Structure 1
């Protein structure tokens, strides 16, 4: 895990509890300093998910085999795409974690 600035420092964000969260390193690197991304369904820009102010289950769910995120809203879909949350490496890891009983995480 790595620390992610929800509002990037390069865009005026501060290093404070309210603006920092944990993210997997891969997702954090793909996010870079983005705060919005394109929703693949609507083609419109949508803000990225903010884990400090938004509820995970309103924007995301798990696929039936629990290896992939599914976006329920434009925020969820745009976040999944921008952070590449369903890249092949992490999907394979989730599959192994599910077999071991470590996944999906309790909500």
Structure 2
């Protein structure tokens, strides 16, 4: 029940990179803890997010990382507290970080990694990406 609620709330999109589960049908998206259990995160709905497997793998239990431009310790994007368009924008097939939080999350989660850029390119060419879903 909880897993389905998380999926529906996210509209079946990764809450970090915004890929849709339909675009990766052979790899089910993960229900991830925004704040990991090892950092006292719990299993309440407000602490759970739908994540593309690569986003979840790269994020791991991290709550922060070093800003790639300044090396300042910066918190990561929090899907329950932050709004995606405040921190990110889609430009072509690339996601651009608009804030320190966006840039740091983008870098740590490798949201513009080769595999994802290739997938977004294929989806964009096929008319499968709705740019408004990234707004």
Q: What is the TM-score normalised by the length of structure 2? A: 0.74
How much has 1:10 moved relative to structure 2? 1.1
Deviations 1:12-41 (A, max 9, x none): 100111000101001100111100011112
Measure the CA separation in 1 of the matches of 2:96 and 2:66. Answer: 15
Aligned equivalents of 1:23 and 1:105: distance in 2?
19
Counterpart selection for 1:72 from 98, 105, 109: 98
Instruction: State the number of aligned residues.
Output: 105
Q: Distance in 2 between matches of 1:73 and 1:86?
A: 16
Provide the C-alpha distance between the structure 2 equivalents of 1:105 and 1:88, rounded to a whole number of angstroms. 23
Aligned ranges for residues 1-107 of structure 1 at < 5 Å? Answer: 1-63=29-91, 65=92, 67-103=93-129, 104=131, 106=133, 107=135
TM-score by length of 1: 0.93
| Structure 1 gaps, min length 5 | none
CA RMSD of aligned residues (A): 1.0
SS in 2 for 1:13: coil
| Cα distance in 1, alignment partners of residues 97 and 53 from structure 2 | 21
In 1, distance between residues paired with 2:32 and 2:101?
Answer: 18
Question: Cα offset for 1:42?
Answer: 1.8
